[in-house]
Amino acid sequence: MSKGHSIFLFLTFFLILLMSSAYSSERSEGSRVFGIVQKMESALNEMQDYTCEVEQFFYQNGVEDQSYRFKFYFKRKKRIRVDFSHPYSSLTIFYSDGDKEATVMPFRFMPTVKFRFSIDNPMIKTLAGQRIDQTDMGYFVDFMSKNLKRIKQGEDEFYEDGEQVKFLFWAKDYIEEKSNEKYRISISKKHWLPIRIERYSLEDRLLEKTGIKNYIINTHLEDKLFNP
Q: What is the residue range of 117's domain?
A: 49-226
pTM: 0.84
d(CA 78, CA 136): 8
Both ends of the chain: CA-CA distance in Å?
83
Q: What are the C-alpha distances in Å from 59 to residues 17, 64, 67, 123?
A: 43, 4, 9, 19
> Is 159 part of a structural domain of the chain?
yes
CATH number at residue 73: 2.50.20.10
Backbone φ, ψ for residue 33 (5° rounding):
-70, -40
pLDDT tens for each residue of 141-183: 999 999 998 888 876 789 999 999 999 999 988 888 888 999 9
pLDDT tens for each residue of 13-55: 333 333 433 333 444 445 789 899 999 999 999 999 999 999 9
> Is 209 part of a structural domain of the chain?
yes
d(CA 72, CA 215): 10
CA 75 centroid distance within chain: 18
> Is 38 part of a structural domain of the chain?
no
Q: What are the C-alpha distances in Å from 89 to residues 40, 86, 127, 208, 209?
A: 32, 5, 18, 22, 21
In contact, 158 and 29? CB cutoff 8 Å? yes
> Is 29 part of a structural domain of the chain?
no
> Is 77 part of a structural domain of the chain?
yes
> Is 142 part of a structural domain of the chain?
yes
Non-local CB neighbours of 88 within 8 Å, separated by 6+ positions: 106
Which amino acid is located at 26 in the chain? E
> Is 20 part of a structural domain of the chain?
no
> Is 6 part of a structural domain of the chain?
no
d(CA 71, CA 92): 10
Q: What is the mean pLDDT of the chain?
A: 87
Q: How many domains does the chain have?
A: 1
